[in-house]
Amino acid sequence: MAEPDPAAPAPALVTLDLWAVPAVRVPSALLRMALDRRLVRRAGGLRFAKLLGTGNGRTFTPRDADPLRWGLLATWESAEAAAAFERSGTVTAWSRISAERLRVAMRPIASRGRWSRQEPFGRPTPRPHPGPVAAITRARVAPRKAATFWRAVPPVSAELQSSPGLRLAVGIGEAPLGLQGTFSLWESADAIREFAHRRAPHVEAIRRTAVEGWYAEELFARFAVLHVTGTFAGQRP
């Protein structure tokens, strides 16, 4: 897969897969995380991809980690390319070892910041969406700021989990420390705006981000949710 142009247009489709595995399959999941890095990059029509661990996102420390759930975030040049990937060895292998899968298909409607020095969701013109929306926040925490960042996370996480209109929130990360994010799924754009701009803990976190300089790199993106298939913890969010 060629390196994407950091200023490329928004991808046609973004997918997030979350697989749950039984405890006995955790070693197989770890092996897949190692093997699939190269295999996924070979997928036709793929623009950007990250294999992810998951967690509850309450502290963004290793104690949040959930070894029973793993993810893949991918951006695609076309819906056809994403559909073709469903027949790949990667998806087949995860299907064999997993007990549950959630797949969310999305279209970017706003994005700012960078992930691994790229703009994976392009620079879409912000526009309203009448249906469910999703959000991805991702940050590379500056090591010297990690302690103050971790102390600030629990109030924001607690507020997120209790926010009206939230359908799902899960921590996502590329590594146990320093590379952290959250995926959240909401009933509407109004619900996410209420949390982002009117809930005191989150508003204070935004203010402190600018003052403290917590992040060496950060990204915030919103998406129109096109399809949700499968389940998460036994339920369709």
In a domain, 46, yes or no: yes
- CB of 82 closer than 8 Å to CB of 226: no
- The answer to whether 13 and 79 are in contact (CB under 8 A) is yes
32 pLDDT above the threshold of 80 = yes
User: CA–CA separation, 86 vs 46, rounded Å?
Assistant: 13
How many structural domains does the chain have? 1
Q: Output the pLDDT for position 160.
A: 72
* Mean of pLDDT over the chain: 83
Q: Residue holding tokens 């955790």?
A: 26
Does residue 54 contact residue 96 with C-beta atoms inside 8 Å?
no
Q: Is residue 234 part of a domain?
A: no
Report for 142-151, 164-173, 221-230: range of highest mean pLDDT = 221-230
Quick: pLDDT tens for 71-110. Answer: 999 999 999 999 999 999 999 999 999 999 999 999 999 9
Q: How confident is the model at residue 4 (pLDDT cuts 50, 70, 90)?
A: very low
Q: Rounded to an integer, what distance in angstroms lies between the CA atom of residue 180 and that of residue 202?
A: 17
- Vertex 157, ends 19 and 204: CA angle to 5°? 140
**Percent of all residues in the chain with a pLDDT value above 90, rounded to a whole number:** 58
Whether the Cβ atoms of residue 78 and residue 11 lie closer than 8 Å to each other? no
User: Using the 8-state DSSP alphabet, how is residue 143 labeled?
Assistant: G
The residue type of 1 is M
Q: Tell me what pLDDT residue 232 has.
A: 96
Tell me the residue range of the domain where 171 lies.
13-229
Q: H/E element holding 67?
A: strand 65-76
Could you tell me which residue, 128 or 205, shows the higher pLDDT?
128
State yes or no: pLDDT of 153 exceeds 80: no
35: which DSSP letter? H
Distance from C-alpha of 31 to C-alpha of 74, rounded to nearest angstrom: 19
Let me know if residue 74 belongs to a domain. Answer: yes
- Does a structural domain hold residue 55? yes
Note whether residue 8 is domain-resident. Answer: no
Which of the four pLDDT bands, split at 50, 70 and 90, describes residue 52?
Answer: very high
- In this predicted structure, what is the pLDDT of residue 174? 83
Percent of residues, the chain, with pLDDT higher than 70: 75
pLDDT band at 151 (very low <50, low <70, confident <90, very high): low
Identify which of 5-14, 58-67, 68-77, 216-225 has the greatest average pLDDT. 68-77
How many whole angstroms separate alpha carbon 101 and alpha carbon 90?
13
- Give the pLDDT of residue 122: 95
Phi first, then psi, for residue 126 (nearest 5°) are -55, 135
Per-residue pLDDT averaged across 5-29, rounded? Answer: 89
Looking at residue 111, which CATH number applies to its domain? 3.30.70.100
Is 168 a member of any domain? yes
Residue 210 per-residue DSSP state: H
Instruction: Kindly state whether residue 129 falls inside one of the protein's structural domains.
Output: yes
The answer to whether residue 114 is domain-embedded is: yes
pTM value is 0.85
pLDDT, tens only, 157-205: 666 777 889 999 998 988 655 457 889 999 999 998 887 665 444 445 5
